């Protein structure tokens, strides 16, 4: 396929590289003039999108997504699929779908889970929202860039799923950090608590796969000085999106609201630029 890729940051660059390795013709663009080996460099977002079978965007926020779509949708090829892998607010995702639809383009909102490591390894999970036809056309590309793609529903459903998932992740990581910090003060070793929790009712991904304590469980950012696998700044962004979404539909999310407050305090202080699991140091 002829693919346009816009947004070559920590996630976008390895995703584009995996498409090249799979034999696709990728034309890429980033405002920071980042280059990915094997791609053709475009001079603008519109140049990257014009005449392509598929256009993939990986952008920082909803405002930028809307601006980029305003530029690229008018040059989209009839029948092409526009795949947005950014994590943005649901309203912006639906606005992007609407712009694409007016031009007769297929569109999917498909935020990802799996972090930079998953992007590099091609093991991301895609949460997709859009029509059956759009999902079917995007599915072969999801298979290259990830290990799983879930069609969650219509326009905006992918973002809704991502926001709910990451709100739960933020809450569960704080719970894991609190438990290990309490265990230390009670004189219980982190390894002992891990051995219990990982096989008991407290079991969760934040403990089993991403333990916030160095030297316990599978290797995680805690073993690398909390260098980000998933930055606290990004967790705060997703938690804020969850609260914006909750407010828009009058949903009660008291734990999500408190997690947002705690990560806001953390990022404003010692947590900026660190992994979100480094929250344990603040709680200690």
Active site residues: 162
Other C-beta atoms lying within 10 Å of the C-beta of residue 9: 16
Other C-beta atoms lying within 10 Å of the C-beta of residue 135: 23
Query: Which residue from 161, 169, 157 is spatially nearest to 131, judged by alpha carbons?
Result: 157
DSSP E strands: which ranges in the chain?
2-6, 25-29, 40-41, 54-57, 81-84, 106-109, 112-113, 124-130, 146-153
Instruction: Please give the helix or strand (H or E) that residue 166 lies within, else none.
Output: helix 157-185
The phi, psi pair for 25, rounded to 5°, reads -90, 105
Q: What does the DSSP 8-state code read for residue 42?
A: P
Reduced to 3 states, what is the DSSP secondary structure of residue 10?
Answer: coil
Encoding tokens for residue 68? Answer: 């980029």
Question: How far is it between the farthest Cα atoms of the chain?
Answer: 65
**CA–CA dist 129, 135 (Å, integer):** 8
């Amino acid at each position: 396929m002829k693919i346009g890729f816009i947004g070559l940051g920590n996630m976008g660059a390895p995703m584009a590289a995996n498409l090249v390795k799979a034999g696709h013709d990728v034309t890429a663009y980033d405002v920071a003039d980042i280059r990915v080996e094997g791609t053709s460099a475009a001079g603008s977002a519109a140049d990257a999108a014009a005449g392509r079978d598929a256009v993939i965007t990986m952008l920082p926020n909803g405002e930028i997504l809307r601006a980029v779509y305003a530029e690229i949708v008018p040059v989209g090829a009839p029948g092409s699929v526009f795949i947005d892998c950014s994590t943005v607010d649901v309203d912006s995702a639906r606005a992007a779908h609407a712009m694409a639809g007016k031009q007769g383009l297929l569109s999917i909102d498909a935020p990802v889970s799996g972090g930079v490591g998953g992007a590099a390894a091609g093991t991301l999970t895609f949460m997709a929202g859009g029509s059956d036809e759009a999902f079917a056309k995007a599915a072969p590309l999801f298979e290259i860039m990830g290990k799983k793609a879930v069609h969650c529903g219509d326009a905006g459903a992918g973002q809704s799923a991502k926001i709910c998932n990451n709100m739960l992740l933020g809450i569960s990581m704080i719970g894991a950090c609190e438990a290990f910090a309490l265990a230390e003060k009670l004189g219980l070793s982190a390894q002992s608590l891990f051995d219990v929790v990982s096989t008991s009712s407290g079991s969760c991904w934040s403990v089993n796969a991403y333990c916030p304590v160095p030297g316990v469980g599978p290797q995680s950012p805690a073993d690398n000085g909390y260098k980000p696998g998933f930055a606290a700044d990004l967790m705060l962004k997703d938690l804020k999106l969850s609260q914006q979404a909750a407010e828009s539909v009058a949903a009660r999310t008291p734990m999500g609201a408190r997690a947002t407050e705690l990560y806001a305090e953390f990022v404003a202080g010692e947590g900026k630029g660190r992994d979100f699991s480094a929250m344990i140091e603040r709680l200690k």
